[in-house]
Amino acid sequence: MRIPRLARVHLGPMAVLFVLALTACVLVAGLPRVTQGAFDQALRRALTGAPAVQADLAVTVESRSSQEDLHERAQFDTRDRLWHKLLPATLRPLVAPGGHMSAKTTLTPVTGSHGGRYLNLGWLSDADRRVDWVQGRVPGAPATMRYEGEPIPLIEVGVVAEAAAKMGLRPGRTVVLGENDQVAVKIVGLFEAKDPGDRYWSHNTDILHYTEIQPPNGGDMEVHTTTLMSDAGLTALSGAGRNLTYRWILPVNGAAASAQDTVGLGAAVADFGRLVTLQSTGTPYHLETGLPKLLGDFLAALATAQTVMYLVLGGLLAVVLGVIVLAVRLLTDRMDHALTVARARGGSLRQVAGTAAALTGLAVAPAALAGYALSYLVPGPVVPIVHLGPVLVVVASAGFAAARPAVTHRTPLHERRDDVVATRPSARRVTLEVLVVVLALGGAYLLRARGPAASAGQDPFLLVVPVTLTLAAAVITLRCYPYPLRLLVRLTARGRAAVPFLGLTRAARARSGSVLPVLILLPALAVSVFAAVISDGIAGTQRLASWEQAGAPIRITSPMEIPAAQVERVRGAAGVDRVLLAQTGRVQLGYGAERAEALAVDVGQWRELLGDAPVGLPPLSDGVLVSPELRGRGTLEIGWQSRLRLATRGVIDSVPGFYTQGKFLVVPLSVQARPYVNTLLVSGDASPAALRRLVPQATVVSQAETLAAIQDDPLTSTVRWTLLVVTVALAGYALVAIVLALVVGAAERARAVSFLRTLGLSERQAQRLTVLEILPMIIITALAGLGLGLLLPAALGPGVDLSSYAGGLPVGDYALDLLTPSVLAAGLAAVAVLGAYTHTAIGRRRALGAVLRLGDLS
């Protein structure tokens, strides 16, 4: 048969097939690239946003004797090259060139300070590129001096200006360190970091800052800092008399990370750690890194994101293929007469099937190629589905186009019984359908009972259950839809009007072949409603999480008392409506060592300030609200500014913006003799940046900024964006499916209406008859799809942990929002009615005799 001539004759169905295949391939090949790109972006943000001391690889070793000392930079460089050589192939692209090396002592006391001051010795391989000397000079080579009649090393060092002011380490001063094996250091200069915000300094915070530590037994605070020496100073640095540690930092380049390699990275880090340990000759080398923990947290969030993506994208692919199959069926139906004639004239079954497949491929293959090419305009890495998706569309389309004529034209001049409207299903088919339903219900129950998978990664059980639920809903809908229609037929049979009886009778007696195309609506609606409900659940929980973290529209907390003048400036700031004073602190419970976190605030005013926020506390005028760990203690004896005896008025699980676990309590601010205000709760639309300038020593947390930070996460935004795109796409494909279903059955429907019109059926009655024939199945399928879509979040919720996308709170409150289902159902019904009226309007242009003769030939 001549394919080009057939293509010209059936140009309309081929154009529809081309457009459907093009859009399908763009979606199937483009969306995975977007999602994978977001996964990569999320991993890179997790690695670059984490402190370098947690993300980088650090090889450490302690020097415990003079034989293990490293006195020259060349010795450090040799080992640095060895560590890079030992890196597994998977890790090498992730490790950035450069890095640095260091040598530091710890717990080096200032002689005579009785453990109150510690001045550690430090060396950085790249200090010249990291610090500016603001006073004095760069340290030089070490020398010796006499101390208590004995010569000791004298090392020239520099100190960060912050620590020098705190510890009185002015340039020119000499300090003796150690209690028995003394060494002297001479302060020759003060330095500051060139870029204090560089992630590099998280490895060396002890050099950039001083720290104060409270001793376990109480007493005065200990002050610690680390000095900076020159390369020459290494010759006087030994682990024989002090705690000396060498470090080689291999920086991780988060921008080079790929989510596809995450699983292998964890194993590669473990292998590298083993290789490092094997290089030990004396004191063992160790690999210190928080990279496995970062990767593990990311994998947990990624597994959930991938599961949700696979569910919605898999549903989209199934619906897309179903709609394309409908379009292929339309094309093969239009070709049926030509194929029948060819078969009757001696054409082989292979020729008939090959002709249909070739004509379908002529429309689908160029569309798939164009869609595949357009997908490369979408940013993101190429994953296997990008290549396989268009191929699957072409194979499925051509395969169905070949299989359907092959089955239909098994024998020449095939005929079918139009008077047979239903057949009794076989016992094997009934058993299989019952098995599908039982497995779906059992799988949903087991998923709810089991909860989230214990290990990270894809959960096959979670991916199979939605498929079985969809199949079960389709089987139940297909089997049960005639029964309510037959009941309506019996009711309409008692009336005098013929149109309702005829329309509903034709709908109830529709063949399964004509019903199956409409069942494409079921997964389309189920997945789209599921996506909409999940998206709404995430959005609501994100808002709740932002209020839980902020506790107020704006919360200002300070480590010290906020002066009254600053409070008044905050009250007068632009956009501030109300300021509520509060005090936080750690209080004594009873007279023992037990402690608890406490918040003193006017709870009634706080409740008013929160307004309609989804968080709050129960009323409290006197007494105390306690955490679950303090439940059942009755009246509490609290030591804060004074001794307080307060009766327990309630138990609260958390205090929004302050405490979520442990021992905590809330008391009225009025119980304090003089409130030590260190917290302000602010309402209004004031600028957080402006408030930070007014209270520079405080931390300002805004509910709006917290919510934006939660929503701005790449994984979170991608999940919600993909759910929105899939919802819109599935709604569009559902409408296309209705239109195609109308067109596929147009010839048979026109023949039946034409027969009835010869018996006196008017055009208006013909339109009503067509609507009543089509609309019931659409409504029933739409209700089944909507019900399944609303059921899936409840069925899958316990197995899908979406807390990573909702600020750490579990997403479980899927409120029943009927807006989206109503819009979808109304849109489908409107398209069905419009299609029915359009169909009858087109049918009016044909002469009844021509339609009937055409029907007689078919």
pLDDT, position 215: 67
**Does 297 map to a domain?**
no
Please tell me whether residues 564 and 546 are part of one structural domain. Answer: no
Average pLDDT over residues 43-63: 90
Tens digit of each residue's pLDDT (9 = 90 or more) over 549-577:
999 999 999 888 898 899 999 999 999 99
Residue 296 domain-assigned (yes or no): no
Contacts of 343 (CB under 8 A, 6+ apart): 349, 352, 409, 412, 413, 414
User: Residue 715: enclosing H or E segment and its boundaries?
Assistant: helix 714-744
One domain, residues 601 and 737: no
Closest CA to 641 of 596, 719, 588: 588
Tens digits of per-residue pLDDT, 277-290? Answer: 998 888 899 999 99
Instruction: State both tokens at 278.
Output: 């094997």
Helical pair 763-796 and 460-480, crossing angle rounded to 10 deg: 150
Which domain does 33 fall in, by range?
1-48+313-416
* Spatial separation of the C-alpha atoms in residues 561 and 677, rounded to whole Å: 6
Query: Do 346 and 256 sit in the same domain of this protein?
Result: no
d(CA 272, CA 277): 9
On whether the CB atoms of residues 375 and 31 are closer than 8 A, the answer is no
Question: Can you spell out the DSSP letters for 610-663?
Answer: HTT-S------SSSEEE-GGGTT--EEEEESSSEEEEEEEEE-S-BTTTBSSSS
Structurally, the chain folds into a number of domains equal to 4
Residue 858's pLDDT band, with cuts at 50, 70 and 90, is very low
Q: What is the mean pLDDT of residues 652-674?
A: 88
CA gap 231, 210 in Å, rounded:
23
Residues 588-605 pLDDT 10s: 888 877 889 999 999 999
Q: How much is the pLDDT for 31?
A: 85
Q: Is residue 856 predicted with pLDDT exceeding 50?
A: no
Examine the domain organization and report whether 137 and 266 are in the same domain: yes
Same domain, 517 and 607: no
Q: Is residue 302 situated within a structural domain?
A: no
pLDDT tens by residue, 447-484: 767 655 545 455 566 667 777 888 888 888 877 877 88
Q: At what angle do helices 291-344 and 714-744 cross, to 10 degrees?
A: 10
Residues whose CB is less than 8 angstroms from the CB of residue 468 and which lie 6 or more positions away in sequence, other chains included: 436, 439, 440, 443
| Element of type H or E holding 440 | helix 427-450
What pLDDT is recorded for position 61?
Answer: 93
Give the percent of the chain with pLDDT over 70.
87
- Mean pLDDT calculated for residue range 202-211: 89
Query: Is 176 exposed, middle or buried, given 0-12, 13-18 or 19+ CB atoms closer than 10 A?
Result: middle
Rounded to an integer, the average pLDDT of 90-102 is 89
Does 104 lie in the same domain as 240?
yes
DSSP tag of 561: P
Q: How many beta carbons lie within 10 A of that of residue 615, not counting itself?
A: 20
pLDDT value, residue 665:
93
- In 3D space, the residue among 118, 6, 94, 82 whose CA is nearest the CA of residue 43 turns out to be 94
pLDDT band at 422 (very low <50, low <70, confident <90, very high): low
Cα–Cα distance, 229 to 103 (Å, whole number): 10
Mean pLDDT across the chain: 82
CA distance 533 to 516: 26
pTM for the complete prediction?
0.72
Q: Who has greater pLDDT, 20 or 798?
A: 20
Q: Is residue 295 part of a domain?
A: no
Q: Are 69 and 137 found together in one domain?
A: yes
Strand order in the sheet with 211-213: 117-120, 222-226, 211-213
* Res. 518 pLDDT band, cuts 50 70 90: low
User: DSSP E strands: which ranges in 360-486?
Assistant: none
Whether 439 is in a domain gets the answer yes
CA-to-CA distance for 195 and 174, rounded, in angstroms? 29
pLDDT digits (tens, 9 = 90+) for 363-402: 999 999 999 999 888 888 888 888 888 998 999 999 988 8
pLDDT at 840: 63
Q: What percent of the chain has pLDDT over 90?
A: 23
Same domain, 456 and 478: yes
> Is pLDDT of 834 > 60?
yes
Whether 609 and 719 share a structural domain:
no
* Token pair belonging to 303: 């597994």
Q: Which three-class secondary structure state does DSSP give residue 14?
A: helix
pLDDT at 411: 66
Please report the pLDDT score of residue 854 as a whole number.
Answer: 46
Q: Tell me, what's the pLDDT at 561?
A: 86
Query: Cβ contacts of residue 835 below 8 Å, gap of 6+?
Result: 738, 739, 742, 774
Q: Is residue 527 part of a domain?
A: yes
pLDDT for residue 857: 39
End residue of a domain, out of 396, 416, 436 = 416
Task: For residue 632, count CB atoms less than 10 angstroms from its CB and return exposed for 0-12, middle for 13-18, buried for 19 or more.
Answer: exposed
Pairing of strands 595-601, 183-193: unpaired
In terms of domains, do 510 and 382 share one? Answer: no
697, 721, 736 - which closes a domain: 697
Cα gap 358→352, rounded to integer Å: 10
340 versus 159: which is more confidently predicted? 159
For 171-182, the pLDDT digits (tens) are 889 999 887 788
Answer yes or no: do 67 and 41 share one domain: no
Q: What is the dihedral of CA 228, 233, 236, 238, to 10 degrees?
A: 50
Residue ranges with strand state E in 93-147: 100-106, 117-120, 122-124, 131-136, 143-147
First to last CA, the chain: 21
pLDDT tens digits, residue range 228-280? Answer: 999 998 988 888 888 899 999 999 998 888 888 887 888 899 999 999 999 88
Residue 377 located in a structural domain = yes
**Residue 299 domain-assigned (yes or no):** no
pLDDT at 158 over 90: yes
| Same domain (yes/no): 319, 351 | yes
